Structure 1
């Protein structure tokens, strides 16, 4: 039986033969993207013009498969990362690709919706993640999220997207606009720019939400568990390296035409006129959309928890402990809030996860640059390895600063230089906009390095400049909103760094620089809207002159290889560590 190279090795190393599903043995097929978790009435699928089939409950779905619903039917697709996508009556979509390689930390999902009501809820996360939905009028990039919308069958009606939770960007040939949970965007055609969220009245967003709720339900329905054979097919596909998945899925692109609709898909009555006239929103309508966003955030969190648990439990049947630990660490890096769920589902200890994280190798060129502490080489390596992709650059920067923290005790100069280089990468606005979660996580770790007394002693100027840079980065509202409390802790560590005696002695202007950045952040409307206590927390930081570390037993120092006597100051024991554990990222 051919179960794929990585899966075969996993089974051998784990001392198993995948006996749990031996009666349902299947090949590792990278073209498997998920399954039909719910099917109502007649739903059809095809990957070529001549292989149309009726999709039944639990049927496996494939890359490039077109899914079509009739006038009385609807479907819920469960992708192998646990993401769910619902399609209402008279809908048509094509699954362009679904790459999910948890061990490699990569996810890339693309769906084209030609018409229909839809709702998408994200599943298990990955640090390098991309999800897009293409419609006739524009393409929406989705991050961390729950989103719903209507793609009308009448080209004269605009497509309307309503954000539930997360961050979104709609792009077409005429422009780009971004929005978040509780906001809506309308796109009238590829030659007309998407409307800014403030131009779509809340009455329109509410009407679209009501239409979707009455058709698909107020929240995504519970799905029955997959059959053993279907589950095993998805588990095995998740062990295939991302590059192989991409190659196999791209080789089957068919560009199928959209079949004629058997019934109309329309916007709710009156919504098109309300968009055109920019009808004002009442306070009650605004509150309704705010309540909707809060509710959908809870729905999204619960769905991601279920997806994480199911995915990791599936991986545990086809991976050895090291592979599984790498996958859990990557899922946690993509969404730290689900880290505990992933660990519990894996059955692995914290020590096993930490060991796998330490052993995870950077690309050789980047590894050498980090170990040498050559900031210029680090930035050049990131630029080459990312290929100009800001999402990939952010992931690499996070890996760099993670490695920097690991070598802080043995090579503090190299660690400081590497942390500063990583901050230079995420200081670029396109990186912050595309990957706010990774940007914030990179800044969290860098700030933790800079506040370390050893780092301040060996490189005070680099540390002072890095602390100021970290403070500036987290005041970008997009980055700040990924986790306001993590951003606040970065500010605290940055100000504590430049307030320390060693830094004020060598860089007397550093404290004033960071204080100015924080003072402006305390008055920033965007930050105060995201965190009602933002101003008060920053004022509290500015009233403190240093960061105090908790003391810890000498045994901990010896275990970690730290230098110094009992009670040596260690930023891994600051509140920032606990904050990182509960870090609210925008998962995909």
Structure 2
């Protein structure tokens, strides 16, 4: 009896203390990542002033690009550890790290550190916590990170960062539709490159599908009609690529439907009347494309229905927007979840970055 009571008490005690233990572990991880920074850099990160963080990195690196890359890598690791407790400081520090690796000499001299910064920054800017406290900076960091990924030329990284960027844009559209459209446009252009779409067709579909959900919204059309027109023409061309189309035919049809709805809206037609003709021509070609029909035997009928304006907007009828945004964000977080191995060209600054 006594033994049973002791065992029961142990189980209860374990259950009660487990959450505190997990919290302690998380706190320890955060403290470790921040404490590995040099004192001046640690103070700058904790202050939440991104410009100060950038200045301190430049000072400490003394023009050594490998050291700058290593410091940026340490900073973005510290930033990620701050996400749960101080998302504002996290996105400011991430912005500083991305600013450092935007420099071409750093990308060339510290490519592995640059890749780690890109991967980690994407996990930070796509976080709902960050988007809640500073959506404008999140969008800015997303744009910068995507540009660095494109400069590095890693197709898998470009696709993953573009997925995170468009997820960020979709969360932003309700409060800042103009910024959302611009970010969605950058993401679409990134995956529109043939090398990216051919090597990552599923992620390409995810990016253009989310972008099409953005441009079909009246607020987006009113805020940036010319950019909406450009996105409309591009996403239809992207999903008309047989490799991309075959990865998800019905998603491709959904993109075509939303793009056609957007480009034929009053606001977009007034701003870019030629876009309707371009999209219509692309859809006509898609309806007779043998490769597309082989992947989807109803392709011709579905595309012709879009042209007849009988296909309803999928953003309204198929998936509630809030649920879709959550799914897109989760997908984006999963895709940037595992950073590549890090090779440090010189001994770490103060302590090992990771």
Length-normalised TM-score, structure 1: 0.33
Identify the residue that residue 358 of structure 1 maps to in structure 2.
128
Superposition map of 1:460-471 within 5 A: 460-471=225-236
Structure 1 stretches of 5 or more lacking a match? Answer: 1-8, 17-103, 105-242, 244-329, 331-355, 550-570
Identify the residue that residue 519 of structure 1 maps to in structure 2.
284
Is 1:575 matched up with 2:345? no
Identify the residue that residue 214 of structure 1 maps to in structure 2.
none
Flag the 1:400–1:505 CA change in 2: closer, same or farther, 3 A: same
Superposition map of 1:254-293 within 5 A: none
Deviations 1:549-583 (A, max 9, x none): 8xxxxxxxxxxxxxxxxxxxxx4x4425599779x
Superposition map of 1:452-463 within 5 A: 452-463=217-228
C-alpha displacement of 1:12: 2.3
Identify the residue that residue 539 of structure 1 maps to in structure 2.
304
C-alpha displacement of 1:545: 7.2
- Structure index of larger Rg: 1
C-alpha separation in 2, matches of 1:507 and 1:482: 31
Identify the residue that residue 558 of structure 1 maps to in structure 2.
none
Q: Is the 8 A contact 1:405 1:445 kept in 2?
A: yes
C-alpha displacement of 1:403: 0.3
Match 1:505 to one of 270, 290, 306: 270
C-alpha separation in 2, matches of 1:380 and 1:15: 37
Q: Is the 8 A contact 1:400 1:419 kept in 2?
A: yes
Structure with higher strand content: 1
C-alpha displacement of 1:410: 1.1
Identify the residue that residue 381 of structure 1 maps to in structure 2.
148
C-alpha displacement of 1:496: 0.5
Flag the 1:443–1:516 CA change in 2: closer, same or farther, 3 A: same
Q: Secondary structure at the match of 1:426?
A: helix
Is 1:450 matched up with 2:197? no
Match 2:253 to one of 483, 488, 495: 488
Deviations 1:315-349 (A, max 9, x none): xxxxxxxxxxxxxxx9xxxxxxxxxxxxxxxxxxx
Superposition map of 1:76-225 within 5 A: none
C-alpha displacement of 1:506: 2.0
Q: Is the 8 A contact 1:382 1:397 kept in 2?
A: no
Query: Which of structure 1's runs of 4+ aligned residues deviate more than 6 A?
Result: 578-582
C-alpha displacement of 1:370: 2.1
Length-normalised TM-score, structure 2: 0.53
C-alpha separation in 1, matches of 2:264 and 2:317: 16
Flag the 1:371–1:410 CA change in 2: closer, same or farther, 3 A: farther
Identify the residue that residue 238 of structure 2 maps to in structure 1.
473
Q: Is the 8 A contact 1:496 1:546 kept in 2?
A: no
Matched residue count:
216
C-alpha displacement of 1:422: 0.3
Q: Secondary structure at the match of 1:512?
A: helix
Q: Is the 8 A contact 1:486 1:576 kept in 2?
A: no
Identify the residue that residue 60 of structure 2 maps to in structure 1.
none
Greater relative contact order, per chain length (Cα 8 Å cut-off, separation 6+):
2
C-alpha displacement of 1:406: 0.7
C-alpha separation in 2, matches of 1:382 and 1:389: 7
Deviations 1:15-38 (A, max 9, x none): 99xxxxxxxxxxxxxxxxxxxxxx
Structure with higher helix content: 2
Identify the residue that residue 390 of structure 1 maps to in structure 2.
155
Is 1:12 matched up with 2:33? no
C-alpha separation in 1, matches of 2:171 and 2:150: 23
C-alpha separation in 1, matches of 2:19 and 2:185: 38
Is 1:414 matched up with 2:183? no
Q: Is the 8 A contact 1:448 1:576 kept in 2?
A: no
